[in-house]
Structure 1
Amino acid sequence: MNLNQFNRQPLEQRTDLILRHGTYLAVRYRSQYVIRLYHFNSFFAEVWFEPRRDRFVLARSLCNHTGLHPYLDQVNISDILQQ
């Protein structure tokens, strides 16, 4: 699945794809959300979870490296970026 196909999927399917087939890399916290970073196929994706409501609220691809900055102190992604 490429990036465009992924982005066209509904939230539930994007979340399921990432959780089942993505490689977990890191976690961060923002306000009431737990945000997990995954490597999926040829791109990175975040899954936003709201524990208070026990639901996923966002599953998004990161289209550029700027979105990875919050994670760089937790994980070394240089090997993945060279592929």
Structure 2
Amino acid sequence: MNLSHFNKKPLEQRADIILKHGVYLAVRYRSQYIIRLYYVGQSFAEVWYEPRRDRFVLVRILSNQVGLQPYLEMVDISDIYQE
């Protein structure tokens, strides 16, 4: 499935695809949202969930490195990276 086709699907269907076929990588919290990062296909995706209302509010494919920045700060690569 290409990105355009994915984006045309309703929010709940996009979330279902990511949750079923994606590989969970990380979680972060912002205000009242739980934001989870997944790897699916050849892309990274975020699923924004609002627990207070028990609903998904955003599902998006991250198309550049800027979207991954909050997660990169969570990963410690000091064991494999030496200056």
TM-score range, shorter chain: 0.7 to 0.9
Rounded Cα–Cα distance in structure 1 between residues aligned with 2:5 and 2:43: 12
- Report SS of the residue matched to 2:45: strand
Rounded Cα–Cα distance in structure 2 between residues aligned with 1:11 and 1:75: 29
Identity among equivalent positions (%) equals 68
- Report SS of the residue matched to 1:20: helix
Query: What is the aligned partner in structure 2 of residue 12 from structure 1?
Result: 12
Q: Which runs of 5+ in 2 are unaligned?
A: 77-83
Q: Structure 1 runs of 4+ off > 3 angstroms?
A: none
* TM-score of the two chains, using structure 2 as the length reference: 0.85
Query: What is the aligned partner in structure 1 of residue 48 from structure 2?
Result: 48
Query: What is the aligned partner in structure 2 of residue 57 from structure 1?
Result: 57
CA RMSD of aligned residues (A): 1.3
- State the 1:75 CA deviation: 3.9
Give the paired residue count: 76
- Report SS of the residue matched to 1:67: helix
Q: Is the 8 Å Cα contact of residues 2 and 42 (structure 1) preserved in structure 2?
A: no
* TM-score of the two chains, using structure 1 as the length reference: 0.85
Rounded Cα–Cα distance in structure 2 between residues aligned with 1:69 and 1:13: 26
- Report SS of the residue matched to 1:16: helix
